[in-house]
Structure 1
Amino acid sequence: MKKFILPVFAFVLTINACSTDKSSSQSAEQTTSSATVVNLSAKEFSEKSPSGTILDVRTPGEVAQGKIEGAVVIDFYQPDFMEQVSKISKDQEIYLYCAVGARSEEAAQMLVQQGYTKVYHLQGGIQAWYQNGYPISQN
């Protein structure tokens, strides 16, 4: 019986030691990847976005109805979306918006996962922008 207990005890210790190492490395990864998406109101977006790249992730049909002045348009639904975004420096401030906010929020999360560190999202999208009285460009 003693011969059986000793190997089982050693096995349990080994399993616990491995799981402890995993959780330690996971928390270290979470710490180093501390960048998060910052949600902004239309007013905050208006005040802060001129210091970075404004990224419109809507479709061409949506953009034809107007966009925020100076925005770079990269359609989120295109297969080369991340390839196009990768041309923007990962340390640059990026301000994303779409029609109502869901698509741009998803895109913003993708950017953070790819190592972008200064990612801002317009809550409510261009609809909130317009409803708060901010201009929409037809260019």
Structure 2
Amino acid sequence: MKSFIKFSFFFIVFSFTLSCQTNSEAAVTKVNKSDMKTDVIGKNVQLVDVRTSEEYEAGHIDGALNFNIIDSKTFVQQIENLSKDEPVYLYCKMGGRSSRAADLLKEKGFTTIFDYSGGYNDWVSE
């Protein structure tokens, strides 16, 4: 009986630890222009511009998908088409909306999220 109690206790602690790790595994990493040029441009990555379609049409980083975070219902539907196990790179104009989008991706179970904190304004500046 004593060994059964020890086993049960171990199993409960182990299960709890695993469930906690799943939530804490998701991390948002801030990246800069240099990181974007090295890790994104010319690579097969999930790059998402979270600005409005008008902003996107006025200029965007090559290869970026446009998922407007302001339209949250549509945004949530669109991110369901992304792989949760592959890295996702996000950007907006200056970093605010991409930060919100990163938090939402974490809530939805994405595990590796990169936020280009400088945004498109930084991208087009020299």
Tell me the TM-score normalized by structure 2. Answer: 0.78
Which runs of 5 or more structure 1 residues have no equivalent in the other structure?
1-20, 134-139
Task: Spell out, residue by residue over 1:40-82, the C-alpha distance to the aligned partner (whole angstroms, 9 max, x if none).
Answer: 0111022112241110010012112200001011111122111
CA distance in 2, matches of 1:76, 1:129: 19
Deviation at 1:125, TM superposition (A): 0.6
Aligned to 1:95: 89
Percent of residue pairs identical:
30
Query: Aligned partner of 1:32: which letter?
Result: T
Query: Aligned partner of 2:39: which letter?
Result: K
Deviation at 1:113, TM superposition (A): 1.4
Which runs of 5 or more structure 2 residues have no equivalent in the other structure?
1-11
RMSD across aligned C-alpha pairs, in angstroms? 1.8
Aligned to 2:28: 37
Please state if 1:76 is matched with 2:69: yes
Number of matched residues? 109
Tell me the TM-score normalized by structure 1. Answer: 0.71
Runs of 4+ in 1 over 2 A off after TM superposition: 27-32
